[in-house]
Structure 1
């Protein structure tokens, strides 16, 4: 299984669509088998779900994400878990333990329009 977490440094990025990049974790036998970093491409609507799908991602763990982005991820067979915050490595460990449950948080009206992936 591959899990992607949008990051700024080692912290989960509050602005999914404009994050610096993604920590990608390969999980095998309930442990992180490997971790890599994927730099985010220049912002383009609809790109991130396709890009992460091409990298074989099964799950994206985010803080918040727009409903359109969540729909695009579902169309790429990628599960979206929202409502997370904190250090990305700690988040993935909690995910492995089964402690990450999606809040269903959808970003809609923000001062930072589209930053949470509304049009991704």
Structure 2
């Protein structure tokens, strides 16, 4: 089975927040093994831009730290599986743990609407 897993990056590790990443690692997987990792710089961030761009680049799955509900919905509409709450780690470690069924995920959805001046996003 072939997969292309997108991971938002900050430096060499997973970015804590999907919308604030500096680059994306696209990890190509075939027969449960990593075959290629490609780093790509995303377009300028605007609401909804990253999910469309990631899907257009062939991602089947996204592993992220925090992600807002709009991005999750756009990925779902595009048929891209979303896994949020991943720990800060390298793309290789994240994907190998994911493929082995050992990736620890804690739901981490961000609500960017302020409530009395406070955002619910923990990043």
TM-score, length of structure 2 as denominator length: 0.84
Q: 1:18 aligns with which of 17, 20, 35?
A: 20
Q: Report 1 or 2 for greater relative contact order, CA contacts < 8 Å, sequence distance ≥ 6.
A: 1
Structure 2, gaps ≥5 residues long = none
TM-superposed deviation, 1:26: 0.5
1:73-112 paired onto structure 2 within 5 Å: 73-87=75-89, 88-100=91-103, 102-108=105-111
1:1-120 paired onto structure 2 within 5 Å: 1-87=3-89, 88-100=91-103, 102-108=105-111
Deviations 1:9-42 (A, max 9, x none): 1111012112001110000011001110011211
Distance in 2 (alpha carbons) for counterparts of 1:39 and 1:48:
11
Q: Which has the larger radius of gyration?
A: 2
Q: Bigger shift: 100-109 or 37-46?
A: 100-109
Kept after mapping to 2: 8 A contact 1:46/1:69? yes
Distance in 2 (alpha carbons) for counterparts of 1:107 and 1:45:
13
Q: How many residues align?
A: 116
Q: Bigger shift: 97-106 or 19-28?
A: 97-106
Residue aligned with 1:98, SS: coil
RMSD: 2.3
Kept after mapping to 2: 8 A contact 1:16/1:115? no
Structure 1, gaps ≥5 residues long = none
